[in-house]
Amino acid sequence: MQKLAELEQSLGVSFQNKDLLQTALTHRSYLNENPTWHLPQNERLEFLGDAVLELAVTRYLYLNFENPEGDLTSYRAALVNSNMLAEVAASLNVNDHLLLSRGETKDVGKARMYILANTYEAIVGALYLDQGYDAAEQFIARSIISRMNDVLEHKLYRDAKSYFQERAQDIAGVTPTYEVVKEWGPDHAKNFVIGVYIGGELVAEGEGSSKQAAQQDAAEKGLKAKGWE
């Protein structure tokens, strides 16, 4: 219970039903090694929390921005994508309280990122069941919606790869290409460095745990290198 209290302090929430929070932290792999564990795994809570999160963020955007639907959809995607949720979960020290199998505990790559993102949603679902929508919305506002200024300032809502292509075609009359420069790591935790080229010119290199993520990073750096931001 002491560890749960530490997590509650990080979350800024005190659960009435501690089992709900403990369930939110229980990954299915943990049950495989601990079949007598008295609580279920967190996927049902994750399913519920995903819906609560989307509603809270959508409601906030609708009430605070006059932008058209396409812009609001991009803003929402930037706030609730797995990278953002994993980053927020890590900042709340969720990683220190996950219940995982020994194998999952050792994996700190992109698989852990997805587990953290899913656990954040499970915590939202648990809080909704424990204290209702208003409490869940307040938690989402503190932990996720508070990052909206960063999303706008750093244009995190923008698809960098699509934007770089538009700029390259408009200015240089060329469609950029992407090539893997380097890759390493086991299949379940690959890392890639990918270069973005305009014609034969290497404009920038990006790194990521997937080819798509590395391409996005390369495009973002390419926009800066060309002054096309």
Q: Is 71 a catalytic residue?
A: no
Count Cβ atoms below 10 Å from residue 174 Cβ, excluding itself.
Answer: 13
3-state secondary structure of 156: coil
Out of 46, 104, 121, 130, which one is annotated catalytic? 121
Out of 46, 50, 137, 220, which one is annotated catalytic? 50
Q: Is 150 a catalytic residue?
A: no
Place of tokens 């506002």: 141
Place of tokens 């929390």: 49
Which residues contact residue 192 at a Cβ distance below 8 angstroms, ignoring those fewer than 6 apart? Answer: 180, 182, 183, 207, 208, 209, 210, 211, 213, 214
Residues annotated as catalytic are 50, 121
